[in-house]
Structure 1
Amino acid sequence: MLASHTSIRHLFGKCISQYEKLRKKQAFLENYRKFPMFADNDLSEFDESREIVQNLVDEYKACESADYIKWGMEDRGKQVSGEGNTSGSIDSRVAPP
């Protein structure tokens, strides 16, 4: 069961740590390289997913602080303009101006 509270960040952090160990050894990747999507050694999907989970861990960690309401506001200009957001949409944590 996954619960939505801040202590879950430790589980996600452990998953990231295990992923990094496997990625460093290039373990289990030969099965993915059989598919055209990964044939040219483009494993960026894995790295992007790792970054997303790391952002989740960072946000859960920020939730534990008293000033969480201000978390992510330092990049507000980039997020509103879309520069800091890879998906092209405005981050849901940032209210429109």
Structure 2
Amino acid sequence: MHCRKAKLKLPMKSILEEYKCSKARLLTMLEESDDPVAKTVQPSLKTARKWKVTEAVDEAKECLKMKEVIGQTQTDRRGLGSTTTKWWSKQRARKKGT
């Protein structure tokens, strides 16, 4: 099922990465739910000893906020303004407004 050398393989890099993504997605879904019961209950998601889903999601959110504070920087030869940036705070505000 998960093998790098087989002819028929699943299109994922690692099962651990998929596990972590699904746990983070579930936590974010529960935190940003429109249902007031789901927001207030905040169930604990069981993970391993070395990796905590709440810490990983909080770290990712802080990283997005820091990128927004820094602003758009030039990363290649195309120059500033050649690409559009979707800011994290504006995405959340738009979701809450609808």
**Do they fold alike, i.e. is TM over 0.5?**
no
Higher helix share: 1
With CA pairs under 8 Å and 6+ residues apart, which has the higher RCO, 1 or 2? Answer: 1
Give 1 or 2 for the bigger CA radius of gyration: 2
